[in-house]
Chain A
């Protein structure tokens, strides 16, 4: 039995049962769809911790597939003024001066286990979901930008101007702060984030997504077999995004 989306075993098996029961009720519906379908009423669980593993050895200088995929997915339109453009993922080039080795990595919200952005938020708008995703509730964000100051990775953007053409699943608007959501709308529907998908489609496969708490998930297996690290380990944030070859 395969578990393509690295869902935790417990939930996966649970759904298989529901799927089989439903099959009798709905003849003609393919079993595989039912098995993968997420139970909509199910809240995010703290038994899951979503994470990303970035393989710097596979990421290529100049490639921006993940950045473009993110911009398309969330309709992050350019404002016409560089400094105001939203940046949920940035490509960062690193050069080791001792041997001139250069690296290119995507940098996004690291989904810290102890997020400074949550600690400083005066309204509770910046919050961490049970499954480790760090998000902004834009209904209650007052745009004070404390979180932007607190984030050690410069991962958040402020929306300076009115926004049009939003996607139904990714509301965003003037006066609020935003950052990588790990494509929470996709993950809740058993899909992987847009950046991970596009990196794979482009043949790099530098991004692996999955449940860090599930020993059987690709991301956990890869993490076990290969050395990797979090950025700024000195801050002890226990980030959900990890890097290999950095």
Chain B
């Protein structure tokens, strides 16, 4: 009996330890440019507030400022594969997905919104 308990205890401990070690902190490719549109800690905490506000004023009022537009997020944060094609920010390991997996917050932005920048049209 004591032996069984000990084994069970050992299993629990080792399982717990390994699962802690297995948790990967979000890691994702660096965005373009030096700074984000707001300080990083503010963006981490409040990006959805900015996006929600912008969605309201852009869709309903027709305000087209770029600063807090989701298109802007994608433009800077979508990384490129070796052949130059863009990778969706919603792919595993990419900017949006990595943190949202870590925090277990499911988003559906990209069932409608483009998750890669539009093909560049030469000016």
Contacts and interface: CB of A to CB of B under 8 A. Distances in A.
B114 interface: yes
A137 B59 contact: yes
A172 B112 contact: yes
Contacts of B62: 42-44, 129-131, 184, 188
Interface size class of A (residues with CB under 8 A): 20 to 34
B55 interface: yes
A43 B59 CA distance: 10
Contacts of A169: 71, 118
Chain B's interface: helix, strand, loop or mixed, by majority? loop
Given A43-B57, A139-B55, A168-B71, A38 B64 contact: yes
Contacts of B63: 40-43
A45 to B, nearest CB: 9
A11 interface: no
Contacts of A135: 59
Interface in B71-123: 71, 74, 111-114, 117-118
A80 to B, nearest CB: 20
A23 interface: no
A73 B66 CA distance: 20
Contacts of B114: 165-168, 171
A141 to B, nearest CB: 10
A79 interface: no
A36 B78 CA distance: 30
Given A168-B117, A168-B118, A137 B60 contact: yes
A173 interface: yes
Interface size class of B (residues with CB under 8 A): 10 to 19
Interface in A28-63: 38, 40-44
A139 B51 CA distance: 12
B113 A188 contact: no
A176 B112 contact: yes
B1 interface: no
A174 B108 CA distance: 11
A166 B112 contact: yes
B17 interface: no
Given A137-B59, A139-B59, A40 B111 contact: no
Nearest to A131: B62
A40 B59 contact: no
A171 B113 contact: yes
A172 B63 CA distance: 19
Interface in A158-184: 162-163, 165-169, 171-174, 176, 184
A26 to B, nearest CB: 16
Interface of A: 38, 40-44, 127, 129-131, 135, 137-139, 162-163, 165-169, 171-174, 176, 184, 188-189
The 9 closest A-B pairs by CB, nearest first: A173-B112, A44-B62, A43-B61, A171-B112, A168-B114, A173-B111, A168-B71, A40-B64, A171-B113
16 contacts: A40-B63, A42-B63, A43-B63, A129-B61, A129-B62, A138-B112, A166-B112, A166-B114, A168-B71, A168-B113, A169-B118, A171-B113, A172-B112, A173-B111, A174-B111, A189-B64
Interface of B: 55, 57, 59-66, 71, 74, 111-114, 117-118
